[in-house]
Amino acid sequence: MSRSFGLILVVAWLLTPRTAGAAGNSMAVSQELDAQYTYIAGAGTRGAGPGVGSVSEHSAGVKYVFSPQVTKDLLLRLGFEWQRFSFDVPGHAPIPDTLQQASAVIGLDYQFGDQWLVRAELEPGMYSDFEDSRFRDFNAPLVLGAAYLAEADLQWFFGVRVDLRSNYPIMPAPGVRWKFADEWTLNLVFPNPRLEYDVNDRFQVYLGANVESGTFVVGDHFGSDHGVTKLDHATMDYMAICVGPGCSWKALPSLTVEAGAGLMLQRRFDFFDENTTIRNHEAPYLQIACHARF
């Protein structure tokens, strides 16, 4: 894993002087930094036997992408993503304490014709509970997306996530961004579909959903340690769906800070190979995030 991060840094270092320097143009390199933290209060559990109690969650994530412009229509995307879900698990509930993603980001953006933008992004890395990291923790989901820029106020999105480890190896996600009134925007783009209202040029409130998901491998002794041996080194689809209001503040032209709260509708740990699914009941959540573009 550290070698792949090292490779990314070397490639980024090589591209910086060549791309930006060749054009002598600082505008030819862009960077994205997204960070978020979410707390979900204790949620009752179903599917893990009696007396499991409630499970609360802290999750945090950071994604950094360095994007040099190679040609007029082509941008590379190189970076890393780290995400960690920590669960306060009572007793011996077969829920991992931690799930983590530590991956590289390798991709590209390309403009086709006048109105199409496409993105391909591979995220090779480790997706597991990090109890006993091995090669089988390695995964490389691929995200393919296309945006049709119909006009300034209307764009259509077509996305698909390909993850061969998942119970749903191909997950399509169509979307639309439609500014249907001066102050209102319907921004139905996965994984954060929202209805947005612009209070002013800098401040926005929204009602939206947040879907967090991933496919992870648990440790060799995870099942044994929790009294369910069939779950040793099992593969698991994780998903949490939260809905609620939030607000977004453009603190600087290049920095947006967001805060949201509401209800987690469902959280699911699906050990699909072993026909074992653990679900959590509804619970309140809080989320803060920031997005920098520079």
Partner 1 sequence: MKRMIFWFGVAWCGIVVSTAYSQGTGPLESLKRFSAIQRIDLGKMLDGEILAERGELMKFHNGITAETCFVAPIPPEDAVKQLQIWDPSPHESLKVYAFQALHDPCEPGDFKRLSFRSNQHSVRWLLEKTQAGAPDKSDLNLSRTEARELAGCAGKNSDPDRIASCWTKLLVARAASFQRQELNGVPPYETTGETVQPMTQLRAMLDEELPAANEFQPILHRIGLFGGANDAATLEPYYYWSLFDADHHATINLGAVYQLRVDDHFQMVDVEYYVSGNYYTSVTLYEIWPIRVGGRSGSLIWRDDFLAAPMLKFTKGTERLAYGAIMLQEIKKEIRCFQDDMKAKQ
List contacts with partner 1 (CB under 8 A): 23-30, 32, 67, 69, 72-73, 75, 109, 111, 114-115, 117, 119, 147, 149-152, 155, 179, 181-183, 201, 253-254, 293-294
Nearest residue (CB) to partner 1, 16 versus 30? 30
Supply the DSSP symbol for 21.
H
Rounded-to-integer distance, Cα 221 and Cα 203, Å: 49
SS3 string of 110-126? EEECCCEEEEEEECCEE
Own/partner contacts of 247-252, CB < 8 Å, gap of 24 or more, are 247/203, 247/204, 247/205, 247/206, 248/196, 248/203, 248/204, 248/205, 248/206, 249/202, 249/203, 249/204, 250/201, 250/202, 250/203, 251/202
Min CB(67)–partner 1 separation in Å = 5
Is residue 150 a contact partner of residue 220, using CB atoms and an 8 Å limit? no
Residue with Cβ nearer partner 1 (60 or 292): 292
Pick between residue 39 and residue 249 the one whose CB is nearest to partner 1: 249
Which residue, 73 or 88, has its beta carbon nearer to partner 1?
Answer: 73
- For tokens 């945006």, the residue is 147
Residue 35 vs 292, nearer CB to partner 1: 292
Q: Choose between 15 and 99: whose C-beta lies nearer to partner 1.
A: 15
CB of 48 to partner 1, least distance (A): 42
Least distance between partner 1 and beta carbon 30 (Å): 3
Q: How far is the CB of 279 from partner 1 (least distance, A)?
A: 37
Give long-range contacts, CB 8 A cutoff, 24+ apart: 124-128.
Answer: 124/4, 125/1, 125/4, 125/81, 125/101, 126/1, 126/100, 126/101, 126/102, 127/99, 127/100, 127/101, 127/103, 127/165, 127/214, 127/215, 127/216, 127/217, 128/99, 128/100, 128/216, 128/217, 128/218, 128/219
Residue 190 vs 272, nearer CB to partner 1: 190
> Residue 176 and residue 290: Cα distance in Å, rounded?
23
**Shortest Å distance, C-beta 25 to partner 1:** 5
Token duo for residue 21:
């320097």
